[in-house]
Amino acid sequence: MEILETAAALQTLTETWRREGRRIGFVPTMGALHEGHLQLVRTAAAENDVVVVSIFVNPTQFNNADDFKFYPRTLESDAALLQGTGATVIFAPSVEQMYPRTSVVRFDFGPLERVMEGAKRPGHFNGVATVVSKLFHLSRPHQAYFGQKDWQQVAVVQQLLADLSFDLKLVSCPTIREEDGLAMSSRNRRLRPEARAVAPRLYEALQLTAAALREGLSPGEAQQKGAEWLQQFPDIELEYLEVADAQTLQPAWAGPSAEQPLVICLAAWLGGVRLIDNVLVDGE
């Protein structure tokens, strides 16, 4: 497994693979890999001939300087974890490689980014779309793999593919969880023991909200029930808990149905660490 650090090297390699008729799978990450990432790589390896894994902490998607500063950078251990997963190449560029000049293009995803993460983190999805576009051009994949834990990000990237006619398929894979239900995240390693102990309550709140919807409560009532339940845990600072249409991400006004599944998304702070999670609720 080779580690490439320049955009030119990756582009040359992927162009060669394309000429040879190899199917390319691509898994974009910011490193600090965990089992969720590794499962994406294994899935990509099973469905393609070669797999590119990018490891790049993208500065343009952070609107909190401290979050960017303290985001884990663990390339050596990440490379060790990727051994045996089917990864062919790691692309680990510098900021200068990805942004040789200041980017002036701006993406606007309309209603998709006016809610939840987009509302709380202005400019976040512009940064995501910018770096993902660059990575797609360099890696030239047939399929790109994203985790459903970042549900809104998946929706935004899907819109990006449609609007700019990228010739690739987005594959979204289920969230991988710890045994206690906490969604796997690179940020989990920053949690102090007391915060880690209470973190599974986030998933429990999502499950409680989903159960309320299935019992016939309105989206607003179910949302309120989940948020109020979390108030008993003072270490958790809830930023939002939203029940939304799973496709448009707009606030839901009716319960889930076969035609309109709902997604429950939340973001919360625990001991200075921001975590997100979601669950999908299908109609019976």
Using CA atoms, how far apart are residues 78 and 76, in angstroms rounded to an integer?
A: 5
Tell me: is residue 61 an annotated ligand-binding position. yes
Tell me: is residue 33 an annotated ligand-binding position. yes
Tell me: is residue 232 an annotated ligand-binding position. no
Tell me: is residue 149 an annotated ligand-binding position. yes
Beta-carbon neighbour count of residue 165 at 10 Å? Answer: 6
Beta-carbon neighbour count of residue 41 at 10 Å? Answer: 24
Tell me: is residue 225 an annotated ligand-binding position. no
Tell me: is residue 123 an annotated ligand-binding position. no
Cβ-contact 40, 27 below 8 angstroms: yes
**Structure token digits, residue 72:** 């884990």
Tell me: is residue 158 an annotated ligand-binding position. no
Tell me: is residue 2 an annotated ligand-binding position. no
Q: Which of 37, 124, 137, 142 is catalytic?
A: 37
Tell me: is residue 218 an annotated ligand-binding position. no
> What amino acid occupies position 45?
A
Burial class, 76, CB count within 10 angstroms (exposed 0-12 / middle 13-18 / buried 19+):
exposed
- 155 vs 84, 150, 152, 170, 201, CA distance in Å? 30, 9, 5, 10, 26
Tell me: is residue 257 an annotated ligand-binding position. no
Tell me: is residue 35 an annotated ligand-binding position. yes
- To the query of whether residue 37 is one of the catalytic residues in this protein, the response is yes
Tell me: is residue 108 an annotated ligand-binding position. no
Beta-carbon neighbour count of residue 153 at 10 Å? Answer: 21
Using CA atoms, how far apart are residues 267 and 237, in angstroms rounded to an integer?
A: 9
Using CA atoms, how far apart are residues 27 and 168, in angstroms rounded to an integer?
A: 13
Sequence ranges of the binding site for beta-alanine: 61
| Residues belonging to the active site | 37
Sequence ranges of the binding site: 30-37, 61, 147-150, 153, 176, 184-187
Sequence ranges of the binding site for ATP: 30-37, 147-150, 176, 184-187
Sequence ranges of the binding site for (R)-pantoate: 61, 153
